[in-house]
Structure 1
C-alpha cells in the first residue's frame, strides 16, 4: 500500500531509540506490529508498506494522524528546539502496544540500545510465534509460565525477575494494562510505578509511547545531559530529585507535547549530527 504523508521521516522515526525490533536492509525497514510482519520504505512523501495489516493500523502505528504543524508550533520554544525540528523534521512518535512496550522498556533498564535489541530479539525467538521472517512478541500468558533461569537465557540478566513478575500479574489480571488509557497522566504513572521494576523513566516511556500521554517526559542519562546543558540554569530542585525537576520543567516549558520535545532532544544525543551549540532563552509557559 502507498500512504501519502506530510512531515514524516521514516528513518528518523524508526532509528531514534523509541522502538527496538525494526531492522533496515537497503531502503526497506522490517518489523513486527501486532503479530504481523511489516516492511516499509519511504518514496518521497509516500510511505510504501507491505503487510497484512490494514491502512488504518499503519496510520495509527506511525501516528500519521498527528498534527505536526500544531505540535511544532507548541514545542518550538527557543533556538535549541528550532534547530532540532529542522534537523529531524518528520520524526514521529510511534503508537506501541502496551504489553510489548512495557516489557521492552523494562528490558532497557541500565542497558545499551544494541543490548536491548539483542535481548528482545532473543525473547521473541524463544517465546514468540514463528511468523516466517521473524517472531511475534510473546504473550504475558507464555512468559508467566517460564522460570527466571530460562528467562535469563535471553540475556535479560537481572531484569528477568521483575519481567517475570509483571508477566504473572498481567496474566492473572492483577495488573490491567487497559487501565492507564482511562486515567490522567499522573494517576497512570502512579499505577505503573506501583509495580516492582517500574521506575519514573520506564513509566514515562510506556505512558508516552503506548498510552499517548504526550506530557510524559522520560529522563535518562541522555536527557539529563542535554537538559542540564541547555536548560539547567532554569531548572530548580534538589540534585537528588533532578529527574523529577527536569520532567516538571519540561511540561511547563514545552506544554502538552513535551514528549515530542523529549524525543527530539534524545535523538540529538544518539544521532550522528553535530552537537547542539545553542543556549536556550527560556520563557516559562504555564
Structure 2
C-alpha cells in the first residue's frame, strides 16, 4: 500500500475531481461495484458519471458515484483502478478548519465500514489454497469484502429480507428512511454537479438517515408499514424496535447521538458468537439465518455463514452437501452441517469467503468481470440512476420457460425460411403471432397457425420461383 501512495499526488487527484479526496486503494482490495450491490447493504444510491472527454471503454477514471446518508452527512464515493475517492456533504457549510476535521472523520468511517485494515489479497490467497472451487472465482470476483454496518440498520434490513428479493428489500428500507426519519440534505446528482451532461435535467436527490429504534417502536407503525407494502414484516419491524426500546429505555437524546438500544446492539460485538446469536434470536422476525447475517455483517463474527436456499444450492453443487432424500426445506441439522463444512474449509474468515461465492452465483453478476464490447451499465440502468432513483442491485431476472424457448425457436425458424426484405417482414409477423399465442383462445390459435403456415408456404413458393 505504501508503494501506491507514492505513485499518486494527492493535490493532482483532488484537482481532477473537485471536492474529492483520494485514498490509494486497488480494486483487488475493494470493489464498490460488487460490494455495494451484492445484498449486504440496501441504502447506497448509484449514479453513472458522464464525460464527453473519455471513451466509454476507458477504465482509468471512475464510472460511477455511490452515496450513503449517515446520521449527520452524506458520504460520496468514486473509484478508479488504484484509488478510492471520497467526500462528505453536510446540511450546513462549515468553516475550513471544521470541514477538515469532518473529512478526517469521514475517512475514519470509510476505513471502519469497509474494514480496510484487513488484507483481502492475503485472504483470497489462503482461500484459493484451501479450496479449488474458490480458486476458480478469485480473479474474476476480486475485491469482495464484508461491510461493518450499523447493527440496528442491519437488523431491520434483514428482518425485511424474509422471503424477499434485493430490489424489494431496497424499496422497503428506503421507505423506512423516508417515512420515519427527517430529510438531512438535498443534493443534485453528479451529472448536474460536474456539468458533464448538459442536456440532462436530473432531479435533485433528498437524503434521509436510517431511523432510530424509538421512531419505529410505536404500535401505529405496524399498520402504516403494512399500507406501504411490508406485509407481515411490518409487525416484525415494529415489535423488534419496541422490544429494544422497552428493554433499554429511551433517553431524550439529540438526533446525532445513539440511543441506548443502538448501544446495546453494538455491545454484542464484545460477546461470543453464541451469546450474541441468542440475544438476536429473542427478537420478533429473527430466525437463525437473519441472526447470522447480523452477526457477520455488523457484529464482527467473521466466521459465521448465513445459510439460506441459495447457499444450500452452492453447498450441494460444489461441496456435495445435499438435503436428505424427500426433504426440500432447510433443517437445523442441515444448516449446521453446511455451516460447519464451509467453516472447516475456509477458516476464521469463512463468512467473508462465503460472500464471494454467494456473489459469483447471483444471476445479476452473470457477466460481472467478463470482457464486454458494450459499455456497462446498460442504457436502461443509466436512465434509472440519472433520475435519482435507486438502481436495482440484483434484479430477480426469470429464466425463460421451456415453452417460451420453443416459441423463440419456432420464430427463428420462420425467419430463416423467408428470403428478401418483404419476406423478412412476413417472418416478423409470424414471430409476433407465435409470441402472443398464449393469450389467444383455442379457436384463435388454430386460425393463427393456419395463417402462419400459409404465409410460410407462399414465401417458400416465392423463393423457389423468383
Unaligned 5+ runs, structure 1: 276-286
The 4+ residue runs of structure 1 with deviation greater than 6 A are 235-238
TM-score (normalizing by structure 2): 0.56
Which residue of the partner structure matches residue 351 of structure 2?
Answer: 259
Is 1:21 paired with 2:74?
no
Equivalent pair of 1:216/1:259 in contact (CA under 8 Å)? yes
Structure with bigger RCO (C-alpha 8 Å, 6+ apart): 1
Which residue of the partner structure matches residue 246 of structure 1?
Answer: 338
- In the alignment of these two chains, the number of paired residues is 274
Which residue of the partner structure matches residue 179 of structure 2?
Answer: 126
Is 1:151 paired with 2:151?
no
Q: Which digits, 9 at most, give the CA deviation of each residue in 1:99-143, with x for residues without a partner? A: 000000101011011110011111110001202231111100111
1:206 Cα deviation from its structure 2 partner: 0.3
1:34 Cα deviation from its structure 2 partner: 4.4
Secondary structure of 1:2's counterpart equals: strand
Equivalent pair of 2:359/2:365 in contact (CA under 8 Å)? no
Q: 1:213 to 1:35 in 2, by over 3 A?
A: farther
Which residue of the partner structure matches residue 289 of structure 2?
Answer: 201
Q: Which digits, 9 at most, give the CA deviation of each residue in 1:170-209, with x for residues without a partner? A: 1123573134212111221122112221111101100111
Equivalent pair of 1:185/1:215 in contact (CA under 8 Å)? no
Which residue of the partner structure matches residue 189 of structure 1?
Answer: 277
Equivalent pair of 2:151/2:294 in contact (CA under 8 Å)? yes
Is 1:65 paired with 2:109?
no
In the aligned structure 2, how far is the partner of 1:248 from the partner of 1:33? 36
1:32 Cα deviation from its structure 2 partner: 2.0
In the aligned structure 2, how far is the partner of 1:78 from the partner of 1:250? 10
Is 1:88 paired with 2:180?
no
Unaligned 5+ runs, structure 2: 1-20, 49-63, 90-104, 186-205, 249-260, 369-466
Which residue of the partner structure matches residue 302 of structure 2?
Answer: 214
Q: Which digits, 9 at most, give the CA deviation of each residue in 1:212-264, with x for residues without a partner? A: 1001101112111111100125x798963322211121111211001111111
Equivalent pair of 1:75/1:257 in contact (CA under 8 Å)? no
**Correspondent of 1:8 among 30, 46, 50:** 30
Is 1:142 paired with 2:210?
no
In the aligned structure 2, how far is the partner of 1:56 from the partner of 1:102? 23
Q: 1:85 to 1:140 in 2, by over 3 A?
A: same
Which residue of the partner structure matches residue 78 of structure 1?
Answer: 131
Q: 1:126 to 1:18 in 2, by over 3 A?
A: same
Is 1:47 paired with 2:47?
no
Which residue of the partner structure matches residue 273 of structure 1?
Answer: 366
